[in-house]
Amino acid sequence: MSESSTTLPAAPLDEPSTRRTLLRVGLGAAAAGYGAALAYPVYRYLATPVERAAEAGAVTQISIPKTDEPPAGSALMLQFGARPAMLIHHADGSLVCFDAVCTHLGCTVQFEPDQKRIFCACHSGVYDMRTGQVVGGPPPRSLGVYHVEATDGDIIISRV
């Protein structure tokens, strides 16, 4: 077997440093481009459900038929875009709708008609059942409120 390290011309390490910098930038850019060409499709592939959810979340208004209205003194959980929402039919006949995600750590809240409150079981956060304001527990902010409008046949819920 012949010896490998035959005498080769001087290694191109003694080149002027600007040219070497340019070369490095060029090679770096090429490698970055290649990496991006691989990573971009994979990113989009994995992110598709996220993008779809964002599209669904862009919903500004939903409507439900009047027949689906919850009986007075109870609540109906529904999907507003990608988030759960809570439509409460109070005993006095008024309708309010809240974003049903606790502002503390994101659990879904529940309506407790007998306690007259909205409650989050995760860390005992308590919200007012008419305004969504924090009454007790750790939540930092009140619940998001949607605008509710009852027409002849439908209940229309929209972003404020």
Q: Which residues contact another protein by CB under 8 A?
A: 1-2, 4-9, 11-13, 22-23, 26-27, 30-31, 33-34, 36-38, 41-42, 44-48, 51
Q: Which of 44, 116 has the CB closer to another protein?
A: 44
CB 27 to another protein: min, Å: 6
CB 37 to another protein: min, Å: 5
154: left (phi over 0), alpha (psi -120 to 50) or beta: beta
CB 53 to another protein: min, Å: 13
Q: Which of 30, 150 has the CB closer to another protein?
A: 30
- Cα 128 versus chain centre, distance: 25
Residues 139 and 125: beta-carbon distance below 8 Å: yes
Q: Which of 36, 53 has the CB closer to another protein?
A: 36
CB 152 to another protein: min, Å: 34
Q: Which of 13, 160 has the CB closer to another protein?
A: 13
Q: Which of 31, 82 has the CB closer to another protein?
A: 31
In our burial notation (b when 16+ CB lie closer than 10 A, e otherwise), range 37-61 reads eeeeeeeeeeeeeeeeeeeeeeeee
Distance CA 41, CA 88 (A): 44
Distance CA 84, CA 96 (A): 14
- What are the backbone dihedrals phi and psi of residue 97, each rounded to the nearest 5 degrees, phi first? -135, 130
CB 143 to another protein: min, Å: 34
